[in-house]
Amino acid sequence: MLEILTTDFMQRALIAALLVGLVAPMVGIFLVQRRLSLIGDGMGHVALAGVAIGLVTGLEPVLTALAGAVLAAVAIELLRARGRTNADVALGVIFYGGIAAGVVIISKAPEGTPANLVSYLFGSILTTRTSDVWVFLVLALVIMGTLWVLWPRLFAVANDEEYARAVGLPVLPLNIVLAVLTATTVVVAMRVVGLLLISALMIVPNAAGQLLARSFTSGLRWAVAIGLVSAVGGVFVSYPLDTPSGGTIVVLAVLIYIVTAVSMAVVGRLRQRRHEVAESHEHEHGPECGHEAIPHGDHVDYLHDGHRHAAHQGHYDEHGADEYGALSRDDGPTGQDEEVST
């Protein structure tokens, strides 16, 4: 089983999968936040036109795809910034124009390339060359570096664009940066999952991550973990199963999502039964309310008539009198964050 790791193409495929699994959810979380989940899909369409131009002209398809997708990304953000009601339609024109041009141009390519079309649409790790892997590595590092520097600002803009504009954050440049990062991710993922399934790897790990997380940062960590497991795992099992890597990766991600959703529902049901709500609570505890505040794990309990009360969603939970008992069944505001998976 492990001998497949020693084959060159498998090593290349696993490295490419690792990069995609890492980068796609990181970029995707901001797209989900901006409710632009499907924009990666559109950029995949345009990247196909880039690939076709590369195949016909003999230029490197990865680079022409990158150029096409980045151009489309900038155009899309500028159109959206103009705020015209038909921006939506304009996006449709760009996306379908891209894929149609790709199909037409590719038909004029030298002999033997039509098979290539399918490999770009659905991914083909077998044809990934070492030079491709290097390009992907550089692009992935650029994406991660940019995100590391800019993520608080991307979060602010995606979270509340009007506020960001009011206080002078560079909203349009940040949106363009995100669009370009999306385009770059599309190109990195093109060989592994294919242009038609790229969006899935940006969205599905985040959908699953949101079921587990209570904060943006933990959501991001979960999404990256799930993205990595699906991408690397998908490539790994696609070999013995003899299935296409792209589809396998996405099926795996969707399975993880379903399993997570079902187990969270069960866990939620159990917690609901176990947790004690402090009845009739008019008073709102706060730093200056006069009740003694007792730090408890990641939250604060207030000592209220001999009971420890902790804020939880719209009510207060009883966190009991004895500290250890309380800790073991803690379901405070963020208590569910990371532990649930264990």
Partner 1 sequence: MSAAPRSASRADPSPVPVIELRGAAFGYGEHAVVTDVTLPVHRGEIVAVLGPNGSGKSTLMKGILGLNEHLAGTVRLFGEPADELRDRARVGYVPQRHTLSSSIRSTAEEIVATGRLPRLGWLGRPKATDRQVVARALELVGLSDRAATEVATLSGGQQRRVLIARALAGQPDVLVMDEPTAGVDVASQHVLADVLARLVARGVTMLIVTHELGALERLLTRIVVVDGGRVTFDGPPRRFAARRRARDHAHDTHRHDSELAAGDTAAVVPHGPADRSGQAHA
Name the site residues for partner 1 (rule: CB under 8 A).
29, 32-35, 149-150, 152-153, 155-156, 158-170, 206, 210, 213-217, 219, 284-288, 293, 298-300, 302, 311, 313-314, 333-334
Complex with partner 1: residue 268 or 286, whichever CB lies closer: 286
- Cα separation, 239 vs 233, in Å, equals 10
Residue 252 Cβ, how far from partner 1 at the closest point, in Å?
23
Contacted by 169, from partner 1, Zn ion, none: CB < 5 to 8 Å by type: partner 1
- Cα separation, 284 vs 291, in Å, equals 10
For every residue of 210-251, DSSP letters joined together read HHH-SSHHHHHHHHHHHHHHHHHHHHHHHHHHT--HHHHHHH
Contacted by 9, from Zn ion, partner 1, none: CB < 5 to 8 Å by type: none
Residue 270 Cβ, how far from Zn ion at the closest point, in Å?
13
Complex with Zn ion: residue 162 or 284, whichever CB lies closer: 284
Structure tokens at 304: 């209220």
In this structure, are residues 127 and 115 in contact, taking their beta carbons and an 8 Å threshold?
Answer: no
**41 forms part of the interface with Zn ion (CB under 5 A):** no
Closest CA to 74 of 154, 202, 173: 173
Q: Which of 304, 329, 333, 336 binds Zn ion (CB under 5 A)?
A: 304
**310 forms part of the interface with Zn ion (CB under 5 A):** yes
260, with CB counted inside 10 A (0-12, 13-18, 19+), is buried
**296 forms part of the interface with Zn ion (CB under 5 A):** yes
- Cα separation, 308 vs 38, in Å, equals 46
Residue 302 Cβ, how far from partner 1 at the closest point, in Å?
8
Sign of CA dihedral 333, 334, 336, 342: negative
- Cα separation, 184 vs 68, in Å, equals 10
Count, residues near Zn ion per rule CB under 5 A: 11
Complex with partner 1: residue 113 or 210, whichever CB lies closer: 210
Q: Which of 45, 80, 191, 309 binds Zn ion (CB under 5 A)?
A: 309
Binding site for Zn ion (CB under 5 A): 285, 289, 291, 296, 301, 304, 309-310, 312, 317, 319
